[in-house]
Amino acid sequence: MGLAAAATALGLTTALSGCGALGGDGGDVTLTLVAADYDLTGGDSTKKYWDGVVTAFEAENPGVKVQVRIESWNDVDREVAELVKAGKAPDLAQIGAYADYAAADQLYAADQLLSIPVQANFLAPLVDAGEYEHTQYGMPFVASTRLLFYNEELFDKAGIDAPPTTWDELAAAAEKLKKKGVAYPFALPLGPEEAQAETMMWLLSGGGGYLDGLGHYKVDSEANVRTFTWLRDNLVAKGLTGPVAPAKLDRKAAFAAFARGEVGMLNGHPSLMQEAAKKGVKVGKTALPSTDGRDRAAMGVADWIMGFKQNGHRKEIGAFLDFVFSDENVLKFAGDNDLLPATVTASEAMRSDPAHADLREFLEALPDSQLPPVGKTSWAQVSGTVKQDIGKAVAPDGRPAEVLGRIARQATAAESAE
């Protein structure tokens, strides 16, 4: 479907959803939505976005009201879990995970809510990641991918002519940066904040991943052990990862150091560009280097929106979601937050818009990306184990095979208990 045709279909869907069939015989329906706060500066941009969406939706659908509650990312998943446990589930939640609720039969499937054009418009890897037992329950609200970021000025000072495409080139560039006194030639955040994501990026670029070809955990595969052995021997042991041990370096601290101009290279996401640029850092971006320079799948990330069954508002939830996923709304939110649209038509529109030229490499990487196994109810437990333990694999006396083996055994046990 071309951009214009798909947009027309989406527009028709939105219009049809407001044709008087909503609200039921008992009068108006009020939907509740709990949503995450994306404003990095402590402002109210997320609230303003949802206020605008709700106002426009209610004008087209007079039988439905929507109440939105914004919670910080530190609290939103817990807040929704507590509401569900107390028997007070919201109608909609825009949070980080859906699988536990899908496994407990608490969610509507996507095809019970969305019109066909809207459901068909999601990018394929995001649809796959939104499935629990081959049915889509998680609808991707917004996405991002990861690229290698490098400080162009530090590269120039170190005499590095081009960004690395292989691991050997990355290590050589880090050596040059170190000789020029760069504090973090390559920042490797394997601390507990977000280590599961940093780990996945390296596993993919080494030809491995968390899962085998059948979709089961294989954390200690030969490829994965080789990857972490290389990191230990070629970056950490040679003092190329900076003054803080990777096991103690959180992503937030690494990103802050990059924005201060103290980092030569790191694996970054779109939101970091804006922060670094504000502080005068000239950011270069390229695909994550691989062992041999061949293209590997980038890691994709998505946040999810879902509809809960408890209150029985299926038609109203579906109409609201059809409206939320219009190109106009998807592009507005993604553009305001330096993130990527989760839909095909909005991605095409953003890619062709010169105002978003700095996101083009991320957009190009997203359709072929791989996401963490968020459709497994065991993933939260496995992710937590990775966060706590993976940094030990690259310590000077670390034993990658043992650390990965221990995580693998726990992952397999968690998967068996699903």
71-115 tens-digit pLDDT: 998 899 999 999 999 999 999 999 999 999 999 999 999 999 999
Which has the closest alpha carbon to 58: 359, 366, 374, 324? 324
Checking if the pLDDT of 1 tops 60, the result is: no
pLDDT at 295: 86
Checking if the pLDDT of 11 tops 60, the result is: no
Report the SS3 class of residue 208. Answer: coil
Domain 147-299+375-416: state its class: alpha beta
- The reply to whether domains 3-137+301-368 and 147-299+375-416 share a CATH topology is yes
* Average pLDDT over every residue of 9-34: 59
The domain defined by 3-137+301-368 folds into D-Maltodextrin-Binding Protein; domain 2 (3.40.190)
CB atoms within 10 A of CB 354: 6
Contacts of residue 82, Cβ cutoff 8 Å, sequence gap at least 6:
none
345-361 tens-digit pLDDT: 999 999 999 999 999 99
pLDDT at 229: 98
pLDDT at 25: 53
What is the average pLDDT score of the chain?
92
- DSSP label at 368? G
pLDDT at 255: 95
pLDDT at 418: 86
Q: How confident is the model at residue 23 (pLDDT cuts 50, 70, 90)?
A: low
49-66 tens-digit pLDDT: 999 999 999 999 999 999
CB atoms within 10 A of CB 399: 16
pLDDT at 15: 37
Checking if the pLDDT of 223 tops 80, the result is: yes
302 contacts 145 by C-beta, under 8 angstroms: no
* Average pLDDT over every residue of 292-309: 93
188-197 tens-digit pLDDT: 999 998 999 9
Q: How confident is the model at residue 399 (pLDDT cuts 50, 70, 90)?
A: very high
Model pTM? 0.86
Look at the chain and count its residues. Answer: 418
Domain boundary assignment for the chain:
3-137+301-368, 147-299+375-416
What span, in angstroms and rounded, lies between the C-alpha atoms of 327 and 279? 32
